[in-house]
Protein backbone atom coordinates (compact mmCIF):
# COMPACT_ATOMS: atom_id res chain seq x y z
CA UNK A 1 0.00 0.00 0.00
CA UNK A 2 1.20 3.48 -0.93
CA UNK A 3 0.01 6.67 0.76
CA UNK A 4 -0.25 9.68 -1.57
CA UNK A 5 -0.43 13.34 -0.59
CA UNK A 6 -1.36 15.99 -3.16
CA UNK A 7 -0.84 19.73 -3.09
CA UNK A 8 -0.94 22.73 -5.39
CA UNK A 9 -4.59 23.09 -6.33
CA UNK A 10 -6.41 26.38 -6.28
CA UNK A 11 -8.24 29.07 -8.22
CA UNK A 12 -6.69 30.52 -11.35
CA UNK A 13 -7.85 32.66 -14.26
CA UNK A 14 -8.12 31.23 -17.76
CA UNK A 15 -4.73 31.23 -19.43
CA UNK A 16 -2.90 30.91 -16.14
CA UNK A 17 -0.75 28.13 -14.74
CA UNK A 18 -0.66 25.82 -11.75
CA UNK A 19 1.69 23.10 -10.58
CA UNK A 20 0.34 20.07 -8.76
CA UNK A 21 2.61 17.87 -6.65
CA UNK A 22 2.19 14.38 -5.25
CA UNK A 23 4.42 12.60 -2.76
CA UNK A 24 4.30 8.85 -2.17
CA UNK A 25 5.26 7.09 1.03
CA UNK A 26 7.90 4.41 0.96
CA UNK A 27 6.74 0.98 -0.15
CA UNK A 28 8.26 -2.49 -0.12
CA UNK A 29 7.11 -2.70 -3.74
CA UNK A 30 8.72 -0.70 -6.49
CA UNK A 31 6.42 1.96 -7.89
CA UNK A 32 5.80 1.11 -11.54
CA UNK A 33 3.89 4.23 -12.54
CA UNK A 34 2.48 7.46 -11.18
CA UNK A 35 -0.02 9.74 -12.81
CA UNK A 36 -2.86 12.19 -12.56
CA UNK A 37 -6.59 11.76 -13.11
CA UNK A 38 -9.35 14.32 -12.86
CA UNK A 39 -13.08 14.30 -12.31
CA UNK A 40 -15.34 17.24 -13.02
CA UNK A 41 -18.65 17.55 -11.19
CA UNK A 42 -21.18 15.20 -12.75
CA UNK A 43 -18.66 13.69 -15.16
CA UNK A 44 -16.58 10.52 -15.40
CA UNK A 45 -13.06 10.31 -14.02
CA UNK A 46 -10.49 10.57 -16.80
CA UNK A 47 -6.79 10.02 -17.18
CA UNK A 48 -4.82 13.25 -17.54
CA UNK A 49 -1.21 12.06 -17.67
CA UNK A 50 0.90 9.12 -16.55
CA UNK A 51 4.62 8.46 -16.15
CA UNK A 52 6.22 5.02 -15.81
CA UNK A 53 9.36 4.07 -13.91
CA UNK A 54 11.07 3.72 -17.27
CA UNK A 55 10.31 7.31 -18.19
CA UNK A 56 7.49 6.83 -20.69
CA UNK A 57 4.70 9.41 -20.57
CA UNK A 58 1.16 9.57 -21.91
CA UNK A 59 -1.26 12.47 -22.05
CA UNK A 60 -4.94 12.90 -22.69
CA UNK A 61 -5.61 14.59 -26.01
CA UNK A 62 -7.39 17.42 -24.22
CA UNK A 63 -4.24 18.45 -22.31
CA UNK A 64 -1.49 17.49 -24.73
CA UNK A 65 0.82 20.42 -25.35
CA UNK A 66 -0.43 22.31 -22.29
CA UNK A 67 0.35 19.96 -19.37
CA UNK A 68 3.67 18.35 -18.47
CA UNK A 69 4.14 15.44 -16.08
CA UNK A 70 7.47 14.82 -14.37
CA UNK A 71 8.38 12.04 -11.95
CA UNK A 72 11.37 11.70 -9.65
CA UNK A 73 11.88 7.98 -9.11
CA UNK A 74 14.40 8.49 -6.31
CA UNK A 75 12.06 10.72 -4.31
CA UNK A 76 8.81 8.98 -5.32
CA UNK A 77 7.19 12.24 -6.31
CA UNK A 78 5.27 13.31 -9.40
CA UNK A 79 4.39 16.82 -10.55
CA UNK A 80 1.90 18.10 -13.09
CA UNK A 81 2.62 21.49 -14.59
CA UNK A 82 -0.53 22.93 -16.13
CA UNK A 83 -0.24 25.85 -18.53
CA UNK A 84 -2.81 27.75 -20.61
CA UNK A 85 -5.57 26.59 -18.31
CA UNK A 86 -9.15 26.63 -19.56
CA UNK A 87 -12.46 26.66 -17.65
CA UNK A 88 -13.06 23.11 -18.86
CA UNK A 89 -9.98 22.02 -16.89
CA UNK A 90 -11.93 22.68 -13.69
CA UNK A 91 -12.05 19.41 -11.73
CA UNK A 92 -10.78 17.53 -8.73
CA UNK A 93 -7.35 16.18 -9.61
CA UNK A 94 -6.23 12.86 -8.12
CA UNK A 95 -2.74 11.43 -7.88
CA UNK A 96 -2.42 7.75 -8.73
CA UNK A 97 0.33 5.19 -8.16
CA UNK A 98 0.76 1.57 -9.18
CA UNK A 99 3.16 -0.55 -7.12
CA UNK A 100 3.11 -4.25 -7.87
CA UNK A 101 -0.49 -5.36 -7.46
CA UNK A 102 -1.47 -2.27 -5.46
CA UNK A 103 -3.29 0.75 -6.89
CA UNK A 104 -3.35 3.84 -4.67
CA UNK A 105 -5.18 7.16 -4.91
CA UNK A 106 -4.64 10.50 -3.29
CA UNK A 107 -7.37 12.46 -1.56
CA UNK A 108 -7.72 14.88 -4.47
CA UNK A 109 -7.08 18.59 -4.92
CA UNK A 110 -9.52 21.07 -6.44
CA UNK A 111 -8.52 23.07 -9.50
CA UNK A 112 -10.90 25.84 -10.53
CA UNK A 113 -10.32 27.91 -13.66
CA UNK A 114 -12.37 31.08 -13.97
CA UNK A 115 -13.35 32.66 -17.27
Instruction: Write the pLDDT tens digit of every residue in 62-113.
Output: 999 999 999 988 888 999 999 999 999 999 999 999 988 889 999 999 999 9
C-alpha 38/C-alpha 40 separation (Å) is 7
List, for residues 5-30, the tens digit of each pLDDT value: 999 999 999 999 999 999 998 666 78
Residue 55's pLDDT band (cuts 50, 70, 90): confident
pLDDT of residue 80: 98
Tell me the mean pLDDT in the region 39-47: 97
Residue 90 vs residues 13, 27, 54, 114: alpha-carbon distances, Å: 11, 32, 30, 8
Amino acid sequence: QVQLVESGGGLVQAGGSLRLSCAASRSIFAIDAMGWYRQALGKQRELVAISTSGGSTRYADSVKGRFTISKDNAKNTVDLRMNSLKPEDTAVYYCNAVAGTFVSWGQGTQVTVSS
